[in-house]
Amino acid sequence: MEKATLHRAPKLDNLLLFKAHYHKFQFTRHCHDDFALGLMYRGVQRFSYRGAARYAPAGTLITVNPGEIHDGMSGDDSDFSYRIMYIPWELMQTIGEEMVAGRKNHYFAHPVINDRELSQQLGHLLQLLDDDTSEQLELEVLFSKTVASLLSSYGTEQLEHGAAVQIPSPVAQACAYIRDHAHEHISLDDIAAAAHLSRYHFLRLFSDAMDISPYSFLLHHRLQLAKKEIRLGVSLAESALNAGFADQSHMNRRFKSAFGITPRQYQKAIC
């Protein structure tokens, strides 16, 4: 049975916690605004990340930086289970600055980490988060130590891909246009004109620079708009229209394929 849940951790900065058990489900290419720190419990997850296929077997850590594009599926055609905590940029940088010295910024260097001690540490934290009797101080100390240890041993100041790559000016202009008009119906010619390029020259340049199609980039920003609307308490139907989707059903399909949960599950978790 495939199942996914999302809820907040009220004793730990209200962090969002994701738990999933999948078999046939496959995530579409997407990215997150927060750091994703996860632990594989069962099976093998395969995902494309920084231009390569990555495999995360049971017992390994998954560490994904904000804005980095990835997908996800079973790596061996069997069930896989894992848990993720989403850590906001500001919180990650604060822990890095105050507990890990010598870096201007703090990112995860590798998407899959095989470190038994840290995996056990994160597993213990996640177990405590399931226990309503756990004390806030214990959770806060264990969380901070776990993240600091990860950044110290497996962190980096600069991304190897994505944000570290200089985006050509026409592509940057196109990205800005898509972000500004994500709620509207826009065409390839509209975006290419904003980049001052022919449609086919633009399409090749954008895909090479961003490792994602203009339409996938548009969908990402529509989903982020939908999330923002939902967080503001707007109804799901109105959130879909305000974000540029044809209707709520269209938003539901895109949301589930990108994030593994429905908009209603997201709404219940954050509202």
pLDDT digits (tens, 9 = 90+) for 40-92: 999 999 999 988 999 999 999 999 999 899 999 999 999 999 999 999 999 99
How much of the chain exceeds pLDDT 90, in percent?
90
Which of these, 26, 44, 47, lies nearest to 36 by C-alpha position? 47
> If you average pLDDT over every residue of the chain, what do you get?
94
Edge-to-edge strand ranges of the sheet holding 15-22: 3-9, 15-22, 80-87, 35-42, 61-64, 112-113
Measured in Å, how far apart are the chain's first and last C-alpha atoms?
Answer: 27
**What element of type H or E holds 265?**
helix 263-270
Consecutive H or E run containing 158? none
Residue 18 to residue 14: CA distance in whole angstroms:
13
Nearest-angstrom CA–CA distance, 144 and 138 = 10
Predicted TM-score (pTM) of this structure: 0.90
Query: What confidence score (pLDDT) does residue 160 get?
Result: 58
Query: What CATH number does the domain located at 165-270 have?
Result: 1.10.10.60
What 3-state class would DSSP assign to 18? strand
Q: What's the mean pLDDT in 150-178? A: 83
* Spatial CB neighbours of 50, under 8 Å, sequence gap ≥ 6: 68, 111, 160, 161, 162
> Tell me, what's the pLDDT at 164?
45
Q: Which of 53, 51, 54 has the alpha carbon at shortest distance from 38?
A: 54
Query: What confidence category does residue 222 fall into, taking pLDDT thresholds of 50, 70 and 90?
Result: very high
- Cα gap 146→193, rounded to integer Å: 48
Please give the single-letter amino acid code of residue 269: A
pLDDT digits 0-9 by tens, 111-157: 999 999 999 999 999 999 999 999 999 999 999 999 999 999 999 98
Instruction: Copy the structure tokens of residue 171.
Output: 């592509």
Question: Is residue 161 scored above 70 in pLDDT?
Answer: no
Residue ranges of alpha helices (H) inside 100-183 are 116-129, 136-154, 169-180
Q: What is the DSSP letter of 167?
A: P
CB neighbour list of residue 98: distance below 8 Å, 6 or more residues apart: none
Residue written as tokens 């560490």?
A: 63
* Chain segment 92-104, per-residue pLDDT in tens: 999 999 999 778 8
Q: Residue 162: is its pLDDT beyond 50? A: no
* pLDDT given at position 165: 54
Q: Within 10 A of 242 (CB to CB), how many other CB atoms are there?
A: 17
Closest CA to 191 of 179, 174, 173: 174
Using DSSP, state whether 219 is helix, strand or coil. Answer: helix
| DSSP tag of 166 | P
Write the pLDDT tens digit of every residue in 256-267.
Answer: 999 999 999 999
Tokens found for residue 14:
């209200």
Domain boundaries, the chain: 3-162, 165-270
Query: Does the pLDDT at position 189 exceed 90?
Result: yes
Into which CATH architecture does domain 3-162 fall? Sandwich (2.60)
> Could you tell me the strand order of the sheet in which 70-74 lies?
27-30, 70-74, 44-49, 52-57
